[in-house]
Structure 1
Amino acid sequence: MSSPAPKSPELSDKSKKYDRQIRLWGEHGQALLEAATICLVNVTAVGCETAKGLVLPGIGGFMVADGSTVTEMDLGNNFFLNASYIGKSKALACMQLLQELNPDVNGEYVDESIDYILANRPSFFESFDLVIASNLNEQTLLLLSNRLWVSNVPLVYCRSLGMLGTIRIQLKEHCIIEAHPDNRQFDLRLEQPFEALREHLESTEVTSKVPWLLVLYKYLKAWQSKNGGGCQAPSNYREKTELREVIRADMTADEENYEEAIKAVNTAFGAGLVPLSLKEIFDDDACEQLHKKSDAFWIMAKALKHFVVQENKGYLPVPGVLPDMTANTDSYIALQHIYRQQAAQDADHVYHKCQDYLKALALPMDSIDERIVRLLCREAAGLIVLRGTRISDEYEKSCRLQSLVEDNELQGSLTAYNFALRAYERFLTECGNIPGDCTVEQDIGRLKSIASKMLVDLGLHATISDDILHEICRFGGAELHAVSAFIGGCAAQEVIKILTKQYKPIDNTFIYNAISTESVTLRL
């Protein structure tokens, strides 16, 4: 994916510091990251590694919540604790050592356990943009996830146990404007050019110096005349081959813009119409029925729908983005100006409709910035809305685990390892100790009994391999730093996606087995 270059060589100190990442998510994405505050629940190796991946790129602030103290055992796998902190607050140690990575980030801590906070200050988490938790027992995990679900605060839950690691993302609703698709199709409107573009295309002489878009338009018109007129474009291999041959037949030399036009036949047509994913957004109840608490995204989506359906004959706003083309500078800039001007006009229509909706809802007129409307219009074809599930939903009979169980067995798959980790968490709740911490063989039997009961409760007549349960007990609750670092890095990446509202995050479970170096993403 191409990335925007810095606007000026004279960058501020902050821009120089974060230049590489700004190329990925832009200055507006960096601003959202710097405005965000997150809470890290439990000072574990995987939790600290996740926080490290957010402190370094400049998260606004972080809070560490942990009521335990540093022990010698903690020093073996966590680089964010050292011997000078033994016997002292683990939350304080983690906060101070993390903050050393980036003095621009504000770090705080509370010397209280998650169980104490949930019991005595349940509203504590409502002030954060996101919560990261790791290695909890089942009871605490469900209490935390349910509380955050009600408060509409995203939760990223990480596990690291021996050679296994998982990430579970709990999102109630997540709206993405900039999805950054891997294969973006440029919207050129050659089949149905807007008025200013049509005038330019028809009044400009096609030479070897003009952008390939003008070459392609000239021969598209000829192809359309030959095939009965109309505004259709070649849609199958035979028709596209025919158009390419027509262009090639008129070449008199090695004309690069002609060659580019031939290559563009496969990708230059078909954009501008409403894709199925966007139609689903337009038909969503949240878009149809606005109210005072509607997210700005849905107000903009309804304004976009009005523009497309009522004002633009079913076409999306012009994005105003052109691909690189071989041409002389003046002709390329002239063409670029036409697209950008039309994009600005279309975005103005959508923005004014947003203002109408805000006025009707008696909301402040500055609730929606004109720049975000322009961005939404540019990215309209790729808008995404994710609606997730609560972690507690996985413990219900209607959970998606049933569809993942084949032949009534959960043996040898990554799904089985994920389920075994859930049984591990229930073991912590029911037995009060880590399976395998003392007697491996005895705890295997207890863990197997718990796993079997969980499967029965879900209505599944399945089994889970003794080898997998033995592996869980053999780890004895230990975190390996290499696995924790990998999972933490992946989790931090997903947190950044959520906070910047760019790129599509995992939906909703990632499982990694370092023994076989396998991974899988599942929606549970």
Structure 2
Amino acid sequence: MSSPAPKSPEQSEKSKKYDRQLRLWGDHGQRFLENSKVCLINATALGTEILKSLVLPGIGSFTIIDGEKVTEEDIGSNFFLDNDSLGNSRAQAATMCLLELNPDVRGDYIDEFPENVMKQNQDFLKGFSVVIATALPEKFLIPLSKQLWDAGIPLFSCKSIGLLGYARLQVNEHTVIEVHPDNDNPDLRLDEPWPALKEHLESFDISKLDKKERSHVPALIILYYFMQKFRNLHDGALPTNRAEKDQLRNMIRACGNEEGLLEENFEEAIHYVNTCLSHSKISSQVQSILDDPKCLNLNQDSAPFWVMVSALRELVQTEGSLPVKGSLPDMAADTNSYITLQQIYQKRFNEQVETVQRRVSEILRNVNQSPDAITEDEIKLFCKHANELYIVRGTCIADEYQSSTLDISMYLDDPDSLMMYYVILRGLDRFLSEFNAYPGQFDDQVEPDVVKLKSTIGKLLAEWGCGQVLRDERVHEVCRYGGAEMHSISAILGGCVAHEVIKLITHQYKPLNNTFIFDAITSNSVTYRL
């Protein structure tokens, strides 16, 4: 009797547990997630919903800072709290419930008000990957924003009030290698093939092959052959518009359709006309990163991203292009032809990775960084996605709140713009600071509070130099909320914020930049850069 086959890594319990998300951000993204430390300030319904959506995919650890006790309002809005929690520490109750969701995650809590924690230990937050603050008063949000901005730690400030949701990301600089574009076309370099690829492509003369031989040729070679014929007819130019691309398709179709039946590889070649004729030029986005002062002026504190960008810049200056991705799409061809072509691309990729790796090692030595600071796998990943590099440079929340020149007039000219809710929420912050309560928090004060809130908002707009006036019904509606949270709104917004936090931690996908507003009345949402 034969022994059972060894269990593959894909069949491990951990892989089964996180299978869906591993397909999104891979093993390396999951490692980032499992090494992350998240701090939540205030375990509101929104705060616990955000943490729920981070605990389930397996963040490393979280800490909740909250000095409040569980109230009846908390039980009514927070899915994780029940009557047994009434009067107990809100931080403790939320932590215990969240830890039940995933035994892989570590959690802790501090049953103190955030202000006290910060006063006792100014450096407490410096060890966290991300800080999330919910329902935080303006007077504490501003100093917290300054502290985290200086420390380079991302901050999410979030609110869920009635049917409104708001999230603001503060991040000094965030770099992304894997953007995961919606349309990721193959990187084939047919317009400017390197010598080895060009020699291989030109070794085929499609016109001299019989039907059986042609059916074994990869579509890539067929496309290149007819690209050269097209160039010969157009002074060396590639097709740029629809008519010219149709002409190229017809040339391919005429050759492969001699007996009334178009071969599969010729069909693929026609299909690739749309996706594989892109010029191998560097995008303005990537070029701006290569020319960034942080790339040109490295030092001992330079992040690995900038060290690799500097090495990449030298490769581009030498070869005139970014590294090839080294992979091919599936094609109808005989095995040997396809593998030979694949090996040419893979060899080129490996050569370019080796060049970048050597230069990275030299740079690390020159700036007195550890030679092990950047691994070979990291360099391979960087080179593979070099054409996707992306940077977000954000703005400080404290600067936004203390600015007297916020330019939002162009948004408020549209009466249906959700920017009005940003203005109202900023007015709520001012109202809370002045009166120590939300407008409409007490039933008998709704109408008087509408007048007070309108006055507060009017002063804000005057400070910003805006002449617009918000509609009364909008202000009245927000006062009716009384600062209360609704669980359904917090759950939706919590999932959105958690997605953005994961983007920050894994350095994959483009994150929010920088303000998100959700209006559940109309089921609309919008992002603004303030």
Counterpart residue number, 1:352: 358
CA offsets per residue over residues 160-198 of structure 1, 9 Å max, x none? 011110111111000000000001122111121112212
Q: Does 1:250 align with 2:255?
A: yes
Counterpart residue number, 1:182: 182
User: Structure 2 counterpart of 1:68, which letter?
Assistant: E
Counterpart residue number, 1:503: 509
CA offsets per residue over residues 279-313 of structure 1, 9 Å max, x none? 1111111111111111111111111011001x21x
Q: How does 1:130-145 map to 2 (within 5 A)?
A: 130-145=130-145
Question: Which of 317, 322, 329 does residue 323 from structure 2 map onto?
Answer: 317
For 2:292 and 2:193, how far apart are their aligned partners in 1?
30
Counterpart residue number, 1:480: 486
Question: Which of 304, 307, 317 does residue 299 from structure 1 map onto?
Answer: 307
Shift of residue 9 of structure 1? 6.8
Question: Which of 442, 455, 462 does residue 461 from structure 2 map onto?
Answer: 455
For 1:345 and 1:189, how far apart are their aligned partners in 2?
16
Q: Does 1:51 align with 2:58?
A: no
Question: Which of 396, 399, 406 does residue 399 from structure 1 map onto?
Answer: 406
Shift of residue 237 of structure 1? 2.6
Counterpart residue number, 1:218: 225
Q: How does 1:432-443 map to 2 (within 5 A)?
A: 432-438=436-442, 439-443=445-449
For 2:121 and 2:471, how far apart are their aligned partners in 1?
41
Counterpart residue number, 2:127: 127
User: Structure 2 counterpart of 1:290, which letter?
Assistant: L
Q: How does 1:74-85 map to 2 (within 5 A)?
A: 74-85=74-85
Shift of residue 382 of structure 1? 1.1
Counterpart residue number, 2:369: 363
Counterpart residue number, 2:285: 277
Counterpart residue number, 1:379: 385
Counterpart residue number, 1:426: 430
CA RMSD of aligned residues (A): 1.6
For 1:422 and 1:123, how far apart are their aligned partners in 2?
28
1:203 aligns to what SS in structure 2? coil
Cα distance change of structure 1 residues 403 and 301 upon mapping to structure 2, 3 Å threshold? farther
For 1:135 and 1:486, how far apart are their aligned partners in 2?
16
2:508 aligns to what SS in structure 1? coil
Shift of residue 223 of structure 1? 2.1
Shift of residue 225 of structure 1? 2.7
User: Structure 1 counterpart of 2:217, which letter?
Assistant: V
For 1:144 and 1:57, how far apart are their aligned partners in 2?
28
Question: Which of 485, 492, 495 does residue 489 from structure 1 map onto?
Answer: 495
TM-score by length of 2: 0.93
Q: What is the number of residues matched between the two proteins?
A: 511
Shift of residue 425 of structure 1? 1.4
CA offsets per residue over residues 200-233 of structure 1, 9 Å max, x none? 22235651122200111111122223334x4x42
User: Structure 2 counterpart of 1:34, which letter?
Assistant: E
User: Structure 2 counterpart of 1:267, which letter?
Assistant: T
For 1:456 and 1:489, how far apart are their aligned partners in 2?
35
Counterpart residue number, 2:211: none
Mark the runs of 5 or more structure 2 residues left unpaired by the alignment: 1-6, 207-213
User: Structure 2 counterpart of 1:443, which letter?
Assistant: D
1:144 aligns to what SS in structure 2? helix
CA offsets per residue over residues 454-504 of structure 1, 9 Å max, x none? 111222222222211111110011111111000000000000001000000
Cα distance change of structure 1 residues 50 and 281 upon mapping to structure 2, 3 Å threshold? same
Shift of residue 336 of structure 1? 1.4
Q: Does 1:163 align with 2:163?
A: yes
For 1:90 and 1:264, how far apart are their aligned partners in 2?
58
Question: Which of 403, 406, 413 does residue 417 from structure 2 map onto?
Answer: 413
User: Structure 2 counterpart of 1:518, which letter?
Assistant: N
Counterpart residue number, 1:96: 96
Q: Does 1:326 align with 2:326?
A: no
For 2:431 and 2:12, how far apart are their aligned partners in 1?
53
Question: Which region of structure 1 is more displaced relative to structure 2, 154-163 or 316-325?
Answer: 316-325
2:461 aligns to what SS in structure 1? helix
Shift of residue 48 of structure 1? 0.6
For 1:22 and 1:90, how far apart are their aligned partners in 2?
33
TM-score by length of 1: 0.94
For 2:370 and 2:11, how far apart are their aligned partners in 1?
34
Cα distance change of structure 1 residues 402 and 115 upon mapping to structure 2, 3 Å threshold? farther
Could you tell me whether the CA contact under 8 Å between 2:253 and 2:262 is conserved in 1? Answer: no
Shift of residue 267 of structure 1? 1.8
Calculate percent identity across the aligned residue pairs: 46
For 2:166 and 2:217, how far apart are their aligned partners in 1?
53
1:512 aligns to what SS in structure 2? strand
2:379 aligns to what SS in structure 1? helix
1:365 aligns to what SS in structure 2? coil
Could you tell me whether the CA contact under 8 Å between 1:60 and 1:106 is conserved in 2? Answer: yes
Mark the runs of 5 or more structure 1 residues left unpaired by the alignment: 1-6
User: Structure 2 counterpart of 1:107, which letter?
Assistant: G
Q: How does 1:29-44 map to 2 (within 5 A)?
A: 29-44=29-44
For 2:312 and 2:115, how far apart are their aligned partners in 1?
45
User: Structure 2 counterpart of 1:301, which letter?
Assistant: V
For 2:495 and 2:234, how far apart are their aligned partners in 1?
55
Could you tell me whether the CA contact under 8 Å between 1:187 and 1:271 is conserved in 2? Answer: no
Counterpart residue number, 2:274: 266
Could you tell me whether the CA contact under 8 Å between 2:192 and 2:280 is conserved in 1? Answer: no
Shift of residue 329 of structure 1? 2.8
User: Structure 1 counterpart of 2:182, which letter?
Assistant: D
Could you tell me whether the CA contact under 8 Å between 1:185 and 1:271 is conserved in 2? Answer: no
Shift of residue 272 of structure 1? 2.6
For 1:331 and 1:213, how far apart are their aligned partners in 2?
11
Question: Which region of structure 1 is more displaced relative to structure 2, 397-406 or 99-108?
Answer: 397-406
Could you tell me whether the CA contact under 8 Å between 1:412 and 1:465 is conserved in 2? Answer: no
Question: Which region of structure 1 is more displaced relative to structure 2, 356-365 or 242-251?
Answer: 242-251
Shift of residue 342 of structure 1? 0.7
Counterpart residue number, 2:241: 236
Question: Which region of structure 1 is more displaced relative to structure 2, 282-291 or 95-104?
Answer: 282-291
Counterpart residue number, 2:471: 465
1:366 aligns to what SS in structure 2? coil
For 1:416 and 1:223, how far apart are their aligned partners in 2?
55
